[in-house]
Amino acid sequence: MSVRQYLPTRPHQAPDPHQRRRPGSYLPLAGVSFAWVLLLVQTLAAQSPAPAQPAGQAPKKTVYPATIVVSCDLPCRWTLNGKSHGAIDEGKTATAGVPLGEYQIEGETLDGLDHVEKQLNITEKGQTTVHFEMENLRDTRVNLEQQANAARPAEQAYEDGQMANAQGQYDRARPLFEQACNGGHANACASLGYMYDAGRGVAQDYQRASAAYKKACDGGIAGSCTSLGILYEYGHGVTQDYGQARTYYEKGCNGGYATGCSYLGDLYRTGHGVPKDIAHGRQLLQKGCDLGDQWGCNELKEKP
């Protein structure tokens, strides 16, 4: 709305500079102008972004009145009120700043088999220490499992061991394989021998591997006969003996295990433990290749 509508002047008559205006003659203009200015300022203020953090200045860090210090006697993971806070190495600690209040804190071993929960009510400022004793819990669990395993038939123990082994729970698989092997389960002996041979979940131990392979081989597992032959050929856990290597390679090959045929052929080709016979050696390599042993196929191509 223009000023002219509020303050009309006479047509064709210049205003008298000495003429006084009536009191209040500008009030409508002033009121409208102030209202529009106020509205404009409020609108601009609402649209303006919050002041930016000065460059190079770190955001203010929240300071909590209390700190929880967590440790475990085995490598573990821990959570606070259901939120994961990562892993803690044995002998190390982790911390979290918190307000005063009640908290649920949980710890578990890295394999997830042993779990502890604790409730905290923090009413004072400072540090609150939480220590999870996992080792005794784990040992108790393992002992109870071993007692339960002792009552299982060999076949069931082997199947349970296979399941635990497939899940990477080697500390559970080993006693199950041992129980089944001692109960006459040849495949369990083979699995146990491989664990010790490869150091899978246990310290590598060729002597124990050879003993388990021997039981498995006697039980008709051709692959274990071949594995035992390898230990004799290279003297791992047993006295090196090419004659014994030949014997167990033959058992493996006769049982249809391709690698046993290939390794037996290599003995004949090199004359280790047997009279050197290149032609017979190649025949055995060919048999191994035909049964699916790629190493035997490669040796035939590389060494005619």
Q: Which of 92, 95, 158 is nearest to 128 (CA)?
A: 95
Q: What is the model's pTM?
A: 0.54
| Common-topology check for domains 66-137 and 222-304 | no
Architecture of domain 152-220: Alpha Horseshoe (1.25)
Ordered by start, the domain boundaries in the chain are 66-137, 152-220, 222-304
Tell me the CB-side half-sphere exposure of residue 249, using CA atoms within 13 A.
Answer: 28
Q: From first to last of the 304 residues of the chain, give the pLDDT tens digit.
A: 344 343 333 333 434 444 434 344 444 444 445 555 566 656 665 565 555 566 666 667 788 989 999 999 989 999 999 999 999 998 899 999 999 999 999 999 988 889 999 999 999 999 999 999 888 888 888 888 777 766 568 999 999 999 999 999 999 999 999 999 999 999 999 999 999 999 998 999 999 999 999 999 999 999 999 999 999 999 999 999 999 999 999 999 999 999 999 999 999 999 998 999 999 999 999 999 999 999 999 999 886 6
- Return the C-alpha torsion angle 154, 157, 162, 165, nearest 10: -130
Grouping H, G, I as helix, E, B as strand and the rest as coil, residue 234 is helix
Is the domain spanning 66-137 CATH 1.10.340.30? The answer is no
Backbone region of residue 254 per phi and psi (left: phi > 0; alpha: psi in -120 to 50; beta: other values): alpha
Strands (E), 133-194: none
Alpha carbons 237 and 109: distance in angstroms, whole number: 34
Alpha carbons 160 and 86: distance in angstroms, whole number: 31
Would you identify the CATH topology of the domain 222-304?
1.25.40
- Residues shown for the chain: 304
Go through 126-146 and write b for each residue having 16 or more CB atoms within 10 A of its CB, e for each that does not.
eebebebebeebbeeeeeebe
